[in-house]
């Protein structure tokens, strides 16, 4: 049944939406408990579609009262009305209902069996349309007070997200919810819910059941099969809250580990400008670094619909274009700066999921980048990076509230240990002075505890984990609070849903960030260079600016905002898969797609989506300790005993694409000019094997590599584990098993339960119990009569010798 001809109005038939175009609100566990939606048990929850306003007797939850005339129902609500306040009204109303036998026991949900959130439509609640456009399901203190991530947040009680209502933190156990994504289907279901609500309102009869049966059969109903694990206040022993640790350490009755969830995570991507770092340490590799960073993930109540236009897509585009601009500078110029410039694209920031730095390593041979077998790390080249002098982070620069003003938030500490933070703030403001878009100091001041709040970005984690010994700045499109229509972490944060996206602001921010990074790296260790001098140097090094009309910008905009499976990303990812095949002997193919339209949910961390694993003597391990026994009692062989042994990883398509694009952009700084002084045409390639004969790389120590279909000079990109620091893959066990570090108590530890293949939501036409029995009976009698008639006819035909 096509969405464009949506209809379930044919009575007494089996018409249904088996594949309802929808996205689920799922359960997430964390260190302290649970958030999200799901059914009470594996039994389905079914109810008639009713308009949500018709099942609450008042717009005020305090005045709502139960009604014995409401059957088991599914509340139908427009996406702009899907707020914590309205969900609480529905739950309050349902909890007051005294369920009768005809409607099912209370422990199956009373009358409220689920929620359908419909795309499109207009607000019908108390709030104005403009207010509902601004709604965010995150708390007012994102990643702060009241969330599992508060210990990693500077200024955790500060309300950046003033339009946040905290729905994302709510435990909606027993309330399965899906977003109907197709507008035509939504429009049809909106009309069905209204009609069925009106039928109930005018129903009459000696009993509620009689009146309802007469008025609403046949009915359109929704059936939810959305069990995602327990979600009450306690576990089976009645004592402790069920949380991530419980589901990760679950054991079957035979005592074998059988986790019921997987952690959230993936791979962050980082790359250096200038001569790339060596796989093995060389003198000068540990030069101090200026880190240019952003987050690359987002989330929403419906994880597969997390467009993140403002807080993910625009951030990624800004940093990639900044990297491309800096890549236009020759390596020898960048190598002459006092600090190295490093780009960091951090995965899992919405869930505080970045792992700390391991201190040990093991390598197979000198030709392979160093790796650590336990805890498993696919690449330890980051250990060659020197101390981080400061960070320039980017967040939400595409929505400036119809102005041309950007803001600089300084992550300085009270003891003066913020490194280059003050200097970088001055540089950003100085460099923006002559442009169409200006940057100015944010107005957020010190709080009662003496700290200055930092917007939820990688900088906040850096300052906290370094005990404020390292600081930096955040360039944003907002001053002391997110823009009114930022729709932070909402499925409505999409250009197709009307989110403001200022392409010129993104281009301006990219130029400003690139030049500020050059100025920051130009500063010496004694901070003897002032901001004006450093800014002048940066302008001379990067006289050109990023243009929003350029081919590269337009192509990336389409990939990040419109079609996540665009050809640019597919080409970049395919090359990286081929390169890994050459390096390890195993081509794992493309990682999980970004989808169309793009969705930036970080996903769970497993072998098909970013988890590194070891292939050793034909066995696969999440991590390994040579010579020790695996869970089956077999001794683990030494890594390298078999020629095919390798450390493997299959990042997502987004991560692979960023990896390849950074190599392409930054790898052109070592390309030498042709004899006539012109830049050579870069050779085309599908893997690193196609670049063996390239001769235009300036440094003899740099071999050409294939990146985004072109041979460039030297590999600059690396992956870094993005996983909660309390978790690590269990040694010598299969992939997907994780151990919890009991000494690590401040991390969020987010996990998502494994789904059954039968999980889903369907809609169908319910003819009711009595009509159904009569219909089945009539059908049976008719079939029996036909069978008897055919048998007699056959006998007669045989008798007459015509059969």
Q: Could you read off the pLDDT of 242-293 as tens digits, one per residue?
A: 899 999 999 988 888 999 999 999 999 999 999 988 755 566 677 899 999 9
Least confident range from 35-44, 735-744, 794-803: namely 794-803
Whether the predicted pLDDT of 209 surpasses 50: no
Whether the predicted pLDDT of 352 surpasses 70: no
Other beta carbons within 10 angstroms of residue 408's beta carbon come to: 23
In this prediction, residue 405 carries a pLDDT of 97
What is the pLDDT confidence band of residue 424, given thresholds at 50, 70 and 90?
A: very high
Q: What angle do CA 658, 661, 662 make, to 5 degrees?
A: 85
Rounded distance, CA 744 to CA 764, Å?
A: 49
In this prediction, residue 277 carries a pLDDT of 85
Across residues 302-331, what is the average pLDDT? 97
Whether the predicted pLDDT of 675 surpasses 90: no
- Judge contact between 513 and 319, C-beta under 8 A: yes
Across residues 646-669, what is the average pLDDT? 96
In this prediction, residue 362 carries a pLDDT of 31
Whether the predicted pLDDT of 109 surpasses 60: no
Least confident range from 63-67, 186-190, 571-575: namely 63-67
| Segment holding 727, helix H or strand E | strand 727-729
What is the pLDDT confidence band of residue 678, given thresholds at 50, 70 and 90?
A: confident
What is the pLDDT confidence band of residue 131, given thresholds at 50, 70 and 90?
A: low
Residue % of the chain over a pLDDT of 70: 80
In this prediction, residue 248 carries a pLDDT of 94
| Helical axes 567-584 vs 653-666, angle rounded to 10° | 90
Mean pLDDT, the chain, integer:
83
In this prediction, residue 110 carries a pLDDT of 60
Structure tokens, 339: 């600090």
Task: Report the candidate in 132, 116, 141 with the shortest Cα–Cα distance to residue 51.
Answer: 116
Residue % of the chain over a pLDDT of 90: 56
Across residues 440-446, what is the average pLDDT? 90
pLDDT in tens, 401-412: 999 999 999 986
Residue 236 burial class via C-beta count within 10 angstroms: exposed 0-12, middle 13-18, buried 19 and up: exposed
Q: Which residues, 6 or more positions from 368, have their beta carbon under 8 angstroms from its beta carbon?
A: 279, 583
| Residue 78 β-bridge partners | 118
Whether the predicted pLDDT of 240 surpasses 70: no
What is the pLDDT confidence band of residue 146, given thresholds at 50, 70 and 90?
A: confident
What is the pLDDT confidence band of residue 419, given thresholds at 50, 70 and 90?
A: low
Across residues 745-768, what is the average pLDDT? 85
Across residues 158-174, what is the average pLDDT? 94
Q: Which residues, 6 or more positions from 769, have their beta carbon under 8 angstroms from its beta carbon?
A: none
In this prediction, residue 237 carries a pLDDT of 54
In this prediction, residue 366 carries a pLDDT of 37
Top-confidence residue, 2 or 277: 277
Across residues 719-741, what is the average pLDDT? 93
In this prediction, residue 271 carries a pLDDT of 96
Tokens 């993005």 belong to residue: 722
In this prediction, residue 387 carries a pLDDT of 86
In this prediction, residue 370 carries a pLDDT of 55
What is the pLDDT confidence band of residue 745, given thresholds at 50, 70 and 90?
A: confident
In this prediction, residue 472 carries a pLDDT of 93
In this prediction, residue 111 carries a pLDDT of 82
In this prediction, residue 452 carries a pLDDT of 86
Whether the predicted pLDDT of 299 surpasses 70: yes
In this prediction, residue 32 carries a pLDDT of 87
In this prediction, residue 526 carries a pLDDT of 74
Top-confidence residue, 284 or 713: 713
> Maximum distance among all alpha carbons in the chain?
115
In this prediction, residue 787 carries a pLDDT of 62
In this prediction, residue 416 carries a pLDDT of 44
Whether the predicted pLDDT of 384 surpasses 60: yes
Over its C-alpha atoms, the chain yields an Rg (Å, rounded) of 30
- Global pTM reads 0.89
Whether the predicted pLDDT of 182 surpasses 50: yes
- The number of C-alpha atoms within 13 Å of 275 and in the hemisphere containing its C-beta is 19
Structure tokens, 96: 């007051």
What is the pLDDT confidence band of residue 694, given thresholds at 50, 70 and 90?
A: very high
What is the pLDDT confidence band of residue 700, given thresholds at 50, 70 and 90?
A: low
Residue 310 burial class via C-beta count within 10 angstroms: exposed 0-12, middle 13-18, buried 19 and up: buried
In this prediction, residue 125 carries a pLDDT of 53
Whether the predicted pLDDT of 696 surpasses 80: yes
What is the pLDDT confidence band of residue 217, given thresholds at 50, 70 and 90?
A: low
């Amino acid at each position: 049944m096509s969405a464009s001809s949506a209809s379930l109005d044919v009575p007494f038939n089996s018409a249904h939406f088996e594949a309802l175009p929808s996205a689920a609100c799922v359960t997430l566990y964390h260190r302290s408990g649970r958030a999200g939606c799901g059914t009470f048990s594996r039994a389905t929850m079914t109810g008639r579609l009713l308009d949500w306003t018709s099942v609450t007797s008042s717009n005020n939850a305090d005045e709502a009262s139960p009604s014995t005339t409401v059957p088991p129902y599914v509340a139908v609500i427009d996406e702009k009305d899907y707020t914590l306040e309205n969900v609480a009204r529905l739950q309050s109303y349902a909890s007051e209902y005294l369920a009768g036998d005809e409607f099912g026991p209370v422990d199956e949900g009373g009358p409220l069996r689920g929620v359908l959130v419909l795309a499109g439509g207009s607000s019908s609640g108390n709030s104005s349309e403009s207010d509902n456009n601004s709604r965010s399901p995150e708390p007012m203190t994102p990643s702060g007070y009241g969330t599992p991530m508060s210990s990693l947040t500077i200024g955790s009680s500060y309300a950046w997200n003033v339009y946040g209502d905290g729905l994302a933190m709510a435990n909606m156990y027993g309330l399965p919810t899906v977003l109907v994504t197709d507008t035509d289907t939504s429009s049809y279901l909106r009309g069905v819910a209204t009609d069925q609500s009106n039928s109930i309102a005018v129903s009459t009869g000696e009993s509620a059941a009689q009146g309802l049966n007469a008025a609403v059969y046949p009915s359109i109903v929704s059936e939810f099969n959305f069990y995602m694990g327990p979600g009450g206040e306690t576990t089976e022993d009645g004592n402790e809250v069920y949380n991530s640790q419980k589901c990760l350490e679950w054991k079957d009755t035979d005592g074998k580990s059988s986790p019921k969830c997987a952690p959230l995570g993936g791979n962050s991507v980082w790359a250096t400008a200038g001569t790339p770092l060596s796989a093995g340490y060389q003198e000068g590799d540990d030069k101090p670094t200026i880190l240019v960073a952003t987050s690359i993930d987002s989330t929403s109540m419906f994880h597969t619909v997390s467009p993140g236009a403002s807080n993910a897509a625009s951030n990624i585009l800004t940093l990639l274009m900044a990297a491309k601009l800096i890549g236009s500078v020759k390596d020898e110029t960048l190598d002459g700066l006092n600090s190295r410039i490093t780009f960091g694209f951090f995965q899992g920031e919405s869930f505080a999921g970045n792992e700390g730095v391991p201190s040990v390593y093991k390598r197979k041979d000198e030709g392979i980048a160093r790796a650590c077998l336990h805890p498993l790390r696919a690449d330890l080249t980051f250990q060659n990076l020197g101390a981080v002098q400061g960070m320039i982070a980017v967040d939400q620069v595409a929505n400036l509230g119809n102005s041309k003003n950007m803001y600089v938030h300084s992550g300085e500490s009270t003891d003066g240990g913020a490194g280059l933070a003050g200097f970088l703030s001055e540089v950003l403001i100085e460099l923006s002075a002559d442009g169409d878009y200006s940057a100015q100091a944010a107005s957020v001041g010190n709080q009662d505890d003496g700290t200055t709040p930092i917007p939820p970005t990688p900088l906040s984690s850096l300052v906290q984990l370094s005990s404020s010994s390292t600081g930096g700045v955040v360039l944003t499109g907002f001053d002391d609070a997110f823009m009114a229509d930022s729709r932070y972490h909402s499925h409505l944060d999409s250009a197709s849903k009307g989110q403001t996206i200022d392409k010129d602001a993104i281009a301006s921010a990219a130029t400003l960030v690139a030049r500020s990074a050059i100025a920051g790296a130009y500063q010496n260790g004694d901070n003897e260079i002032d901001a004006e001098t450093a800014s002048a140097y940066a302008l001379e090094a990067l006289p050109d600016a990023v243009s929003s009309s350029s081919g590269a910008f337009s192509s990336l905009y389409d990939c990040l905002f419109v079609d996540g499976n665009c050809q640019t990303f597919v080409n970049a990812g395919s090359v990286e898969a081929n390169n890994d095949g050459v390096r390890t002997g195993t081509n794992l193919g493309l990682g999980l797609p970004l989808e169309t339209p793009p969705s930036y949910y970080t996903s769970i961390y497993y072998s098909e989506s970013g988890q590194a694993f070891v292939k050793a003597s034909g066995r696969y391990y999440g991590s390994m300790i040579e010579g020790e026994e695996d869970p089956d009692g077999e001794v683990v062989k030494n890594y390298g005993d078999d020629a095919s042994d390798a450390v493997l990883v299959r990042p997502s398509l987004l991560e692979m694409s960023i990896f390849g694009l950074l190599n392409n952009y930054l790898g052109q700084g070592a390309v030498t000019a042709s004899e006539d002084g012109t830049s050579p045409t870069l050779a085309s390639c599908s893997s690193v094997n196609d670049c063996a004969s390239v001769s235009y790389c300036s440094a003899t120590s740099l071999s050409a590599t294939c990146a985004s279909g072109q041979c460039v000079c030297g590999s600059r990109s690396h992956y870094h584990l993005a996983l909660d620091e309390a978790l690590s893959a269990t040694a010598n066990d299969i992939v997907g098993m994780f151990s919890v570090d009991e000494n690590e108590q401040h991390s969020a530890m987010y996990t998502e339960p494994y789904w059954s293949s039968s999980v889903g939501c369907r809609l169908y036409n319910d003819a009711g119990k009595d009509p159904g029995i009569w219909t089945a009976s009539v059908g049976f009698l008719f079939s029996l009569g036909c069978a008897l008639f055919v048998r007699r006819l056959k006998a007669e035909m045989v008798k007459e010798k015509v059969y």
